[in-house]
Amino acid sequence: MKISVIGLGYVGSVAAAGLASVGHDVLGIDINAEKVAAYQSGNLPIYEPDLADLMEAGRRAGLLRFATSDEVSEPLGDVVIVAAGTPPKESGGADLSQVKACLSWIMERQTGLEAILVKSTVPPGTGAKLHETVLAGSSIEYVANPEFLREGYAVHDWFNPDRIVIGGGEKSQTLLHELYVGMSAPYVFTDITSAEMIKYTANAFLATKISFINEIAVLCDRLGATIDDVCEGISLDPRIGASALKAGVGYGGSCFPKDVRALDEVALTNDHNFELLRSVITVNNRQKYLPFYALRQRFGTISDLTVGVLGLAFKPNTGDIREAPAVSLIQQLIDDGACVRAFDPKATDAARKALPDGVTYTKNAMECAEGCDAMILMTEWEEIVNADWKTVAARMNEARFMFDGRNALNPDSMRKLAFEYHGIGRPSKVPKVNSAAPSLSDQHS
C-alpha cells in the first residue's frame, strides 16, 4: 500500500517506520521543516530506543521518505494516517486545531484516497463530527485507530500490540487487515466514538490504578505496612494484575495527565460530574511534591539545602520531560531557595530549556551527589538504579538523606551504605519521617 503519515511525533514516526518495515511505501509528512530534515538525515529529533535503526532500514529499502507539507505534490496514497498532536487547552480539554488543519489539508489533495486513519487522541464524539463535516459528500472513510504505544517501548509495542482498535465502517475492516499485515493481535471493530472512548478509558483507568495505589502507599506509611508486599499480595489476583501499580511520585508524560483532564472536560460538557477522575488528578498532583514535604519535615528549612535530583524525564528510556514530576519538584525546590543539582541520561537538554537558570546539570549520579544534603530519585533509569551508591554516599554531606520517589532501590542495601533512606509506602525505621502526604490536619490548616 502507499501510505502517508502526517505528524512525526512519537506515534507518527514509529508508525511510519513500522509500516515501511513490512513493505508499505510510506511518506512521512510534518509542517516542521527542522523535524523533517532531522528524519531525512537520520539524526532523530526524539530519543526512542530502536527507532533510528528501524528508520534507517526503511530509508535504505527506499520505502520510507520524509517531506514537509509544503513540499508534497504527489498523491497521498491509499491511506493517510493522522498523528498530529492534541495538546491541552487552558480549560483542560484537547486542542483539536492541528487535527482539523491536517484533515483540511488532506481534503485538498485527496486524489485516489480510500481512508483517513486518525491515530491522534481525540475526545469521544470528535471523529463522528469530523466525518459529517470535513468529509461530507466524500467516499473517503474516516477511521478512528487509536494507538497504545508507550514512550521508551514504542517500537517494541508497535510490533507486539495487545489489540488493534478500529472505529469505522465495513470498508475499514478490509483496509486495516491489509495495512497491519503480519500483526497477530486481536482486532476490535467498532464505531468511531466507541474507538475514541476505548483510548480515553484505557489511559484514564491506568491513571486511576496509579493514583489508587499511591493512596494505599500513603496509608502504608501511616500504618507501618510495606507497599511492595501489599502489591505482590494483590497482584496475584488475576482480576487485579500487577501493571500500573507501582507507587511513586505520580504519572507524567504527554498522555495520562492530558487525557485524564480531557475526559474530565468531556464529562462536564456532557453534564456528568466524573468525581472519581477528579480525585485521580488531585492525588497525582500531590505525589510529585512528596519529596519536598519529606525534606521540609526532616530539615525544617529548604533554603540551606543542596539537593540532588536523579532523573528528569517523566519515565525511563525517554528524553521527554512533558509533565515530568521532576520538573515541578525542582521548580518548588528552587522557589524555596534550595541549590539543585540534577542528572538525567537523556533529558538534560530539554530540562535546561524548561527550568530556571541555577540548576547544576551533571554527568552521572556520583557527580550529582557532590556536596548534597539530600538526593531524590525521580526517574528509575537503569543507569541511576545501578549507580555506584557507595561513591554517591561518600560524596554527600553527612545527612545522606535519600528519597526514592520510584521505590526502585533496595532499602536495606541503602541503609547499610549509611543513607537515611525513605521510599513511598515503605515506612522507614530510622528516623521516622512521614514521607507521604501532609496529614489531614496540615491540609486543613
Residues that bind ligand UGA (CB under 6 A): 121, 147-151, 203, 206, 210, 244-246, 248, 250-253, 255-256, 314-315
The distance of closest approach from Cβ of residue 386 to ligand UGA in the complex, given in angstroms and rounded to an integer, is 18
The distance of closest approach from Cβ of residue 243 to ligand UGA in the complex, given in angstroms and rounded to an integer, is 7
Query: Under a CB-based contact definition with an 8 Å cutoff, are residues 164 and 158 in contact?
Result: no
Rounded Cα–Cα distance for residues 297 and 399 (Å): 14
The distance of closest approach from Cβ of residue 301 to ligand UGA in the complex, given in angstroms and rounded to an integer, is 29
Nearer of residues 38 and 206 to ligand UGA, judged by Cβ = 206
Nearer of residues 7 and 250 to ligand UGA, judged by Cβ = 250
Told to judge if 255 belongs to the known catalytic residues of this protein, a careful annotator would answer: yes
Counting other chains too, the contacts that 17-20 makes at CB distance below 8 Å and 24 or more residues apart are 17/51, 17/54, 17/55, 17/58, 17/64, 17/155, 18/54, 18/155, 18/158, 18/159, 19/179, 20/57, 20/58, 20/61, 20/63, 20/64
What grid cell was written down for 173?
475492516
Query: Under a CB-based contact definition with an 8 Å cutoff, are residues 436 and 217 in contact?
Result: yes
Catalytic one among 220, 231, 255, 339? Answer: 255
Nearer of residues 141 and 323 to ligand UGA, judged by Cβ = 323
Query: Under a CB-based contact definition with an 8 Å cutoff, are residues 44 and 38 in contact?
Result: yes
The distance of closest approach from Cβ of residue 89 to ligand UGA in the complex, given in angstroms and rounded to an integer, is 17
Query: Under a CB-based contact definition with an 8 Å cutoff, are residues 209 and 245 in contact?
Result: yes
What grid cell was written down for 406?
520510584
Nearer of residues 99 and 245 to ligand UGA, judged by Cβ = 245
Rounded Cα–Cα distance for residues 352 and 358 (Å): 10
| 72-100 per-residue burial string, b: 16 or more CB within 10 A, e: under 16 | eeeebbbbbbbbbbbebeeebbbbbebbb
DSSP state of 150: P
Rounded Cα–Cα distance for residues 57 and 63 (Å): 9
Query: Under a CB-based contact definition with an 8 Å cutoff, are residues 208 and 280 in contact?
Result: yes
End-to-end CA, the chain = 63
Nearer of residues 203 and 328 to ligand UGA, judged by Cβ = 203
Amino acid identity, residue 131?
H
Nearer of residues 10 and 389 to ligand UGA, judged by Cβ = 10
Nearer of residues 293 and 314 to ligand UGA, judged by Cβ = 314
Which residues have a catalytic role annotated? Answer: 255
